[in-house]
């Protein structure tokens, strides 16, 4: 998919609109291209009083010391009663059991994903019998995540898959140790397309954790599924997969499924190397599906990996399960169990996701300020400046004008206390959970600025559903050297 970039240097607003009418500006996701206007340079100001980062990077200092967490199969308690979602807020320590929900009538249902970048086909060179390494950060591999967390005093890793801009599917045991005496995970950090560092898309932090009563009450693998709400909508950078469920046993046994995640143990490159496998299941029941892996390497660390199929008609990928548990390795063939998406889980998932987005007002979030310059002279203009504006809400507003301030900072915490070097406006017709890449007027570095290392970022001035996420920090700011 081509991304719209707009430069207004030398163009009046009337000239830009004329260019649009002539088809010079490509559509983005079926909508009119953003218009950038009114570039203004203001005198630089400095103020040392900055607030906290909106998306602090909480990646552990030694991620290689975190160990895999995939429970081995063994005796488990039967779960009696309904399957209900259980939510946990790490900031407050409050746990909430969601009420039982009425189930949809269809025996199968789904939600589409979103491809936001060029696509790379699955290699289809390995079956569920073994796994192959994948190094690409292109969709759909971009949706595969490494998850770091602390649980009961230990530091662990799991895997997960993006399901929308700020939600990841994973395993229940990655967010809760299971059973009525189990504990919730803390310090949850998600890194999409992890390869030993977070330079692909940055990180996001888990601000709310959800799993299901069969896991939290009975440690039953039929409830070993989880959703993690993120503070940073990194899915706008990675894209996300669709999700769905089917009650048909024959469909489950006759469908080819795909899985990508981060194993540990004896796999080459572990724990920082993503691995992929595909194939059909050997057996299935109402809550779990099972497959044999010929490899004797333990797949610990792949827990939570989204298990998806690709629709042959639309090409869309839909997550229908997650890797839950395994047994057998290293002395024999590895066997793995997947927790199926069911009607109850799917309905709860929709309610959970909907509650995390505004439905009455847009929430415009800026991401990934970038320039091709690594260094620039004082008094000179940058060669270019791009960033993303995303509507992280379920509200579809009319065409909006956003006022943008461009700042230089001595650290990666961009705030209004930093040095403002430019202001401009952006007009864009946002849809629900959509965004646009903006090509802004290249700002000029003040001639009186002291040489050194700086971070360039933006702040959206307009009020919306959440004004706390209107600036670009850490990965979403860009580092430059001024000389």
Residues 246 and 103 in one domain: yes
pLDDT at 336: 86
Mean pLDDT, residues 338-344: 94
Q: Tens of pLDDT along 285-328?
A: 999 999 887 666 778 899 999 999 999 888 899 999 999 988 76
Question: What is the rounded distance in angstroms from the CA atom of residue 456 to the CA atom of residue 452?
Answer: 13
Residues 219 and 248 in one domain: yes
Give me the residue label for tokens 């390795």.
329
Answer with the one of 355, 383, 407 that is the final residue of a domain.
355
Q: Tens of pLDDT along 120-157?
A: 656 544 446 568 899 999 999 999 999 999 999 999 99
Adjacency order of strands within the sheet including 364-370:
364-370, 386-391, 435-439
Q: Residue 433 domain-assigned?
A: yes
Residues 371 and 436 in one domain: yes
Question: What is the rounded distance in angstroms from the CA atom of residue 218 to the CA atom of residue 173?
Answer: 12
Residues 286 and 365 in one domain: no
Q: What is the CATH number of the domain that holds 135?
A: 2.40.10.10
Residues 409 and 345 in one domain: no
Percent of the chain with pLDDT over 70: 80
Mean pLDDT, residues 426-455: 95
- 388, pLDDT greater than 90: yes
Mean pLDDT, residues 216-234: 95
Mean pLDDT, residues 409-432: 94
Residues 204 and 126 in one domain: yes
DSSP, residue by residue, 272-321: S-EEEEEE--SEE-SSEEEEEES--S--TT-TTPEEEEE-TTT--EEEEE
- 8, pLDDT greater than 50: no
Residues 348 and 390 in one domain: no
pLDDT at 65: 86
pLDDT at 327: 75
Residues 264 and 181 in one domain: yes
Confidence of residue 4 (pLDDT cuts 50, 70, 90): very low
Residues 378 and 465 in one domain: yes
Q: Give kind and range of the element (H or E) at residue 215.
A: helix 213-218
pLDDT at 239: 95
Q: Residue 330 domain-assigned?
A: yes
Confidence of residue 76 (pLDDT cuts 50, 70, 90): low
Q: Tens of pLDDT along 448-477?
A: 999 999 999 999 999 999 999 999 999 999
Answer with the one of 355, 374, 395 that is the final residue of a domain.
355
Q: Residue 5 domain-assigned?
A: no
Confidence of residue 53 (pLDDT cuts 50, 70, 90): confident
Q: Which of 134, 227, 139, 149 is closest to 191 using CA atoms?
A: 149
Q: Tens of pLDDT along 190-211?
A: 999 999 998 999 999 999 999 9
Q: Residue 1 domain-assigned?
A: no
Answer with the one of 334, 355, 376 that is the final residue of a domain.
355
- Comparing 2-11, 70-79, 447-456, the range with the smallest average pLDDT is 2-11
Question: What is the rounded distance in angstroms from the CA atom of residue 121 to the CA atom of residue 112?
Answer: 18
pTM score of the predicted model: 0.87
Q: Residue 2 domain-assigned?
A: no
Q: Residue 305 domain-assigned?
A: yes
Q: What is the CATH number of the domain that holds 27?
A: 2.60.40.10
- 79, pLDDT greater than 90: no
Residues 37 and 137 in one domain: no
Angle CA(360)–CA(366)–CA(370) in degrees, nearest 5? 165
Q: How many domains in the chain?
A: 2
Contact 339, 221 (CB under 8 A): yes
Residues 147 and 286 in one domain: yes
In angstroms and rounded to an integer, the radius of gyration of the C-alpha atoms of the chain is 23
Per-residue b or e along 419-437, where b marks 16 or more CB atoms closer than 10 Å to that residue's CB: bbbbbbbbbbbbeebbbbb
pLDDT at 324: 93
Q: Residue 320 domain-assigned?
A: yes
For 176, the domain range is: 66-355
If you average pLDDT over every residue of the chain, what do you get? 84
Residues 146 and 48 in one domain: no
Contact 348, 98 (CB under 8 A): yes
Q: Which two tokens stand for residue 379?
A: 């008094």
pLDDT at 116: 64
Identity of the highest mean pLDDT range in 113-117, 277-281, 332-336, 424-428? 424-428
Task: Name which residue leads in pLDDT, 458 or 267.
Answer: 458
Q: Residue 318 domain-assigned?
A: yes
- Comparing 81-85, 232-236, 335-339, the range with the smallest average pLDDT is 81-85
pLDDT at 129: 59
- 42, pLDDT greater than 90: no
Mean pLDDT, residues 30-39: 56
């Amino acid at each position: 998919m081509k991304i719209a970039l707009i430069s207004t240097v030398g163009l009046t607003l009337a000239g830009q609109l004329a260019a649009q009418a002539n088809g010079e500006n490509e559509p983005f996701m079926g909508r009119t291209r953003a218009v950038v206007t009114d570039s203004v340079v203001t005198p630089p100001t400095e103020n040392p009083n900055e607030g906290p980062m909106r998306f602090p990077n909480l990646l552990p200092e030694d991620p290689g010391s975190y160990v895999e967490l995939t429970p081995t199969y063994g005796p488990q308690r039967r779960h009696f009663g309904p399957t209900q979602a259980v939510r946990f807020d790490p900031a407050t320590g409050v746990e909430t059991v969601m009420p039982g929900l009425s189930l949809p009538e269809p025996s199968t249902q789904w939600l589409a994903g979103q491809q936001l970048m060029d696509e790379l086909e699955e290699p289809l060179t390995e079956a569920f019998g073994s796994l192959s390494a994948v190094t690409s950060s292109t969709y759909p591999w971009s949706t595969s995540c490494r998850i770091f967390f602390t649980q009961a005093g230990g530091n662990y890793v799991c895997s997960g898959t993006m399901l929308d801009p700020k939600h990841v599917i994973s395993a229940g045991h990655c967010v809760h140790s299971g059973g009525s005496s189990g504990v919730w995970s803390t310090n949850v950090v998600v890194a999409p397309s992890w390869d030993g560092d977070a330079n692909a898309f940055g990180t996001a932090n888990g601000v709310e954790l959800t799993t299901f009563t069969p896991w939290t009450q009975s440690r039953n693998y039929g409830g070993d599924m989880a959703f993690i709400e993120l503070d940073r909508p990194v899915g706008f950078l990675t894209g996300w997969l669709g999700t769905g469920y089917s009650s048909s046993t024959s469909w489950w046994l006759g469908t080819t499924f795909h899985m990508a995640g981060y194993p540990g143990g004896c796999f080459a490159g572990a724990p920082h190397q993503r691995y992929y496998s595909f194939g059909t299941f050997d057996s299935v029941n109402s809550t779990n599906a099972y497959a044999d892996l010929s490899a004797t390497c333990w797949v610990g660390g792949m827990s939570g990996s989204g298990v998806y199929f690709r629709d042959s008609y639309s090409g869309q990928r839909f997550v229908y399960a997650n890797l839950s548990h395994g047994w057998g390795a290293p002395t024999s063939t590895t066997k793995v169990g997947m927790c199926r998406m069911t009607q109850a889980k799917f309905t709860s998932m929709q309610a959970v996701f909907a509650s995390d987005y505004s439905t009455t007002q847009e929430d415009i979030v800026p991401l990934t300020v970038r320039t091709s310059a690594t260094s620039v002279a004082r008094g000179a203009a940058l060669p270019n400046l791009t960033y993303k504006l995303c509507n992280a809400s379920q509200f579809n507003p009319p065409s909006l004008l956003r006022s943008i301030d461009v700042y230089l900072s001595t650290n990666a915490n961009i705030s209004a206390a930093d040095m403002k070097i430019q202001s401009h406006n952006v007009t864009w017709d946002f849809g629900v959970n959509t965004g646009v890449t903006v090509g802004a007027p290249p700002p000029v570095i003040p001639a009186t600025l002291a040489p050194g290392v700086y971070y360039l970022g933006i702040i959206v001035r307009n009020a919306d559903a959440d004004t706390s996420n209107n600036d670009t920090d850490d990965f979403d700011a860009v580092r430059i050297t001024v000389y």
